[in-house]
Amino acid sequence: MILIQNLNKSFGKLRVLQDLNLDIHNGKVTAILGPNGAGKTTLIKCLLGLVKPDSGSLKVNETSINGNAEYRHQIGYMPQIARYPDNLTVQEIIEMVKDIRGNPDETDEELYHAFGLESELLKKFKTLSGGNRQKVSAVLAFLFRPSVVFLDEPTAGLDPVSSSCLKDKIKREKDGGKTIILTSHIMSEIQELADKIVYIMDGDIQFEMTTSELLEATGEATLERAIARKMKGIAA
């Protein structure tokens, strides 16, 4: 579980997060949505320990993360754009990350086999297609059996078969009690995967609802239309 209380972050005179409060529960997929510049990326970077908030508290599984890096062992992260050393092979990247993580005895290689990455192991990362880079990133996100997983545009660049494999993996991990935080511009993907929608604008939460509640409240059949109608109502 992730607990965020009164979170504030500014860059100079620009207030990016404003007294933000949010609970993210285990066994759920929570989608964090909002327009560009809304504060989504800053919020996620605060949770990953990449940005230090000005004030407020952050807890992951009841552990305060302010100044404590140990909690990161509980987290898996799939960035929107996979960046690893270009001259290393896929196998070398996986071994490098395992070494950084202390070479745990048990790893989750389900996606590695589902994606058929065996044939890519000896290829240098710089030679991989965009889709195969995404596959490597997805494998690393789940490899160490984290209790919390951040997925930023996870299916971008994936072929339909690989995208389905990843979505099925996300659902299984959720059913196993994992905390999944998802961002995506593909609303059909969010509608398929997310239990809860958190919509951020100007550093503040405009609404948080379950996907079914949002669709029912707006009377819309698709999430894209439901969010548009909800935001029009808030702005009116």
Closest CA to 27 of 166, 173, 150: 173
Answer whether residue 133 shows pLDDT above 70: yes
What CATH number corresponds to the domain at position 200? 3.40.50.300
What backbone torsions phi and psi does residue 156 show, to the nearest 5 degrees?
A: -60, 125
Looking at the structure of the chain, the number of domains it has is: 1
At residue 32's C-alpha, the angle toward residues 200 and 220, to 5°, is 85
How do beta strands 55-60 and 75-78 pair?
Answer: unpaired
What backbone torsions phi and psi does residue 34 show, to the nearest 5 degrees?
A: 155, 165
**Mean pLDDT along residues 61-70:** 77
Q: What pLDDT does 67 receive?
A: 63
At residue 28's C-alpha, the angle toward residues 22 and 34, to 5°, is 50
- Cα distances from 231 to residues 35, 39, 185, in angstroms, run 11, 17, 16
What backbone torsions phi and psi does residue 17 show, to the nearest 5 degrees?
A: -125, 135
Q: What pLDDT does 235 receive?
A: 65
pLDDT 10s digits, 68-114: 677 888 899 999 888 899 999 999 999 999 999 888 888 999 999 99
**Mean pLDDT along residues 168-190:** 95
Answer whether residue 186 shows pLDDT above 80: yes
In DSSP terms, which residues pair with 22 in a beta bridge? Answer: 4
Mean pLDDT computed over every residue of the chain: 93
Domain region containing 31: 2-235
Q: What pLDDT does 64 receive?
A: 84
